[in-house]
Amino acid sequence: MQILIRADASTEIGSGHIMRCLTFADMLRKEGATVYFVCRELKGHLCGLIEAKGYHCLRLPHLKQTFDQQKDAQETLLLLEFNGLKFDIVIIDHYLIDSLWEQAVRTAIPNIMVIDDLANRKHDCDILLDQNYFKNFEIRYDDLVPTGCNKLLGLKYLLLRPEFYEENTVIDKKCKPIQDLLIFYGGSDPTNETVKVLEALDQIKLTDLTIRIVVGLSNANLKLIENRCRDRNFHFYVQIDYLAQLMKKADLALGAGGVTMWERCYLGLPSIITVVAENQKASTEAAAKYGAVWNLGWHENVTVSNLVDIINNAIENPDVLKNMSIKAKQLLKSDVKYRTHPVIEAIINILR
């Protein structure tokens, strides 16, 4: 299988698309696939990380003007032609790409898969993956994809890193006082939620409480956060590949919505969520309504005082966190194991 992935990262976009695609690429490589990436060199791109993981990354130049998907498609096709590359399928994880780009690239690549969660534009694709939980998630794409498109919708198709699938990784959260608190708001944390939490922790009694702060290399406030953690004797981690291990140790997490929210739910880790992007709102609200997380709401409305109150509430009510853990694992069906992940099966089937 020759597979191409088109995705971007930047300080503005964040790192989520690339991190998800790296997880996907690792799964595909285990099935014998050769995987290439095409990424644009935006400020905060992760091309170096992709290459460090052992993948070829074909680079598109930084854009000085608004994203033009027709031009992007042409530049992508020229890159493939220049390098003499042929692919069986292209996987697109990009909010600015729709059927216009896909139809142009289909002239060179016969099969197209789209990863999306917005359901706000048409796609010309053979497989559509939306691994989120929404109200009416089964019908969101009915008028947006071709009739024969294989729609992979819902948490059954969630792409988790291998560490989350390892035997005995699911946490059994007992009703006990909080001893370990994990804070991670994504690789770039563009809305600066980590610093907000650090300010809240300054106002909370932290006796016998271990604090772990995780950031990505693209976090603009990395040095500031590192210094604050050193001053408070908090554990500080940068661009790690063992987040599941920290989640297993933690009794409570604070973070954003998105894939990492589902990772915490899969492990039964109680979470306090701040919504930092529009595409996180509906899924976070649905998870909170189910009882799997606490939703603080839109980041601009979340204050340091809100964080102090909800963290203190969590510390004082371990029984509530135990129930949240149970609901999170139920929602994610954490006890279900797959020999071959259903998304990988879908790709294998279309390329037969």
Binding site members for substrate: 161, 263
Catalytic positions are 17
Binding residues: 161, 263
Closest by CA to 269, choosing from 245, 296, 235, 289, is: 245
Q: Six-digit token pair at 272?
A: 């306090």
Provide the β-strand partners of residue 297.
Answer: 274
- Count helices and strands (H / E) in the chain: 13, 13
How many other CB atoms are found less than 10 A from the CB of residue 62?
11
How many other CB atoms are found less than 10 A from the CB of residue 281?
16
CB 45 within 8 A of CB 10: yes
Per-state percent for the chain, helix, strand, coil, to nearest 5:
40, 20, 40
Sequential DSSP letters for 264-314: HHHTT--EEEEE-SHHHHHHHHHHHHHTSSEEEEEGGG--HHHHHHHHHHH
DSSP 8-state assignment for residue 224: H
**What's the rounded Cα separation, in Å, for the pair 25 and 342?**
15
Measured on CA atoms in the order 66, 71, 77, 83, is the torsion positive or negative?
Answer: negative
**What's the rounded Cα separation, in Å, for the pair 198 and 1?**
46
